[in-house]
Amino acid sequence: MTKQFGFLMDTSLCVECQACRVACQMQNQLPHNRTLIRFRFQETGSYPAVTNHITRITCMHCQLAPCVKICPTGALVKGENTLTYLAPERCSGCGYCAQICPFKVPQALDNRSYKCMACRELVEEGKEPVCVSTCIANALKFGERAELLKSAEKRVAALQKTFPNAQIYGREQMGGLGMLLILRDDPAVYGLPVAPRAAGELAFWKDSLQPTGFKLVGAALLATGASYAIASRNHRRELSEE
């Protein structure tokens, strides 16, 4: 069995310094107005008892990734380590991934999709993705998902003393997220779907409807192809009978 790798973001440690965003832009040669890491800030409470909830809008590396399922060109694939990789050179920019993603992460711009590419080369060399290695606040970790979950549990237990709703996000969602988040409050506060899902219709479409459609087309071709010689001979015969 392959090992699941993933990220862990402790949102309670983020200082919104944007180092990860810029480092990621460097790693992926993105121009200044394209980014794979966006941030969402949400205040709760009222002055002075206020909390600033921070989360990154970036690929969650779902185990059951609808973007991989829907991608018609194979630009989105699952690595052996279960991370979701994007090969922009195969991407047609159809934007299906952007529309199907329950987290609204991919962006279809400039005829391609923009989403975390999971620093494939670095990871395959055994290094950390660049957002993790650059995080100055230790808010990001990378490693075996099981290990990350363990450390997240510890951290959440500590946080619960101050934030009773503190929790891990991504343990179960979408078959388990490769981007685990430590939250101080309910996911909804962070603008995260509590129960994200890959619409069941996606599987029906890709696994049943499309193959059936193709089979019917095939059958029609076969039937007409096979009958053509007989039919046209019959027709010619009828004409000559006149």
Partner 1 sequence: MYKGERMVLRFSRGQRVAHWALAVSFFVLLFSGLTLMIPSLAPLAKGGVARMIHRVFAVVFMLVPVYYALADRKGLQALITESFRYDRDDLLWLLRMPRYFFGRVKGMPPQGRLNAGEKIHHALIILTFITISLTGLVLWFGKGNLSQNEFLGMVMLHDIAMYIMVILTIGHLYFTFVYGALQGMVTGYVNEKYAALEHAKWLASIKAEKTADGKLPQSKSA
Partner 2 sequence: MKFTRRTFLKASAATGALAATSGLIDQKVWAQGQQAASVEMKPSLCNGCSSHCGMWVYLKNGRLWKVAGHTDHPRSRGKLCARAHGAATWLYDPNRITRPLKREGDKFKPVSWEQALDEIAVKLKEILAKDGPGAIFYGHNPRETGVFYGTRFMHALGAPTICTHNASCNTTLNTGWGATVGTTPGSDVGGAKYIIFIGRNFGEGIRTSQVTSLTRAMEKGTKVVCIDPRHNATANLASEWIPIRPGTDLALVLAMANVIISEELYDMAFVEQHTIGFDEFRAAVQSYTPEWAEPITDIPAATIYRLARELASHKPNCFIDPSWKGAFGTNYKNSSQTCRAVACLNALLGNMGTPGGLTFYEGPKFGKLDPAKHPEPPKPTLPRADGAGVKGEWPLATSQGLPHYLAQKAKEGKVKAGFIRHHNPVRNFPDPEHMMTGYKGLELLVVFETHLTETAMAATHILPEPSFLEREEVVEGLAGKKPAACLRPQVVAKIHPETRSFDEIIVALAHKLGIGQYFQFSLEELNRARLAPLGITLEELRQKGTFIGEEVPVPEVPEFKTPSGKVEFYVAKFAENGHSPVPVWEAPLVSPDPGNPRSFRLIHGKQGYHSHTATANIPYLLQITKDHDAERLWLNASRAAALGIKDGDLVLVKSALASGKVRVKVTERLHPDAAYLPSGYGSFSPYLPNARGFGLNQNDFTPYMMEPLNGHAMMMEVIVEVQKA
Partner 3 sequence: MERTDRARASIYNLLAELLMPPTAENWEELTSPGTAEWLQSELAELGCNLPLPAMVGGEQLDLAAAGDAYYHSLAHPLGQSALPIESIYKPWTTDPSCELSIASEKGYLGGDASAHLADIYKALDLAIPPEYSHAPDHLGLELSLMALLVENGSREQQSLFLSQHLDWLPDLLEAADARGIHSLYRDLLVFARDFIAWDRVNLAE
Which is nearer to partner 1, 79 or 95 (by Cβ)? 95
Which is nearer to partner 1, 15 or 219 (by Cβ)? 219
Interface stretch with partner 2, choices 25-33, 91-99, 103-111, 193-201 (CB under 8 A): 25-33
Of 194, 192, 184, 195, nearest in space to 44 by CA: 184
The four Cα atoms 216, 220, 221, 223 give a dihedral, to 10 degrees, of: 130
- Amino acid found at 42: Q
Asked whether position 134 contacts partner 3 by CB under 8 A, the answer is: no
Residue list 131-170, contact with partner 2 (CB under 8 A): 133-139, 155, 158, 162
Which is nearer to partner 2, 59 or 76 (by Cβ)? 59
Tell me: cis bond preceding 48? Omega within 30 of 0 counts: yes
Q: Answer with the entry of partner 2, partner 3, partner 1, none that 211 interacts with (C-beta below 5 to 8 A by kind).
A: none
Read off φ and ψ for residue 70, nearest 5 degrees: -85, -25
Cβ 211 to partner 3, closest distance in Å? Answer: 37
Cβ 68 to partner 1, closest distance in Å? Answer: 13
Of 48, 20, 25, nearest in space to 35 by CA: 25
Q: Distance between CA 18 and CA 39 in Å, rounded?
A: 9
Cβ 132 to partner 2, closest distance in Å? Answer: 11
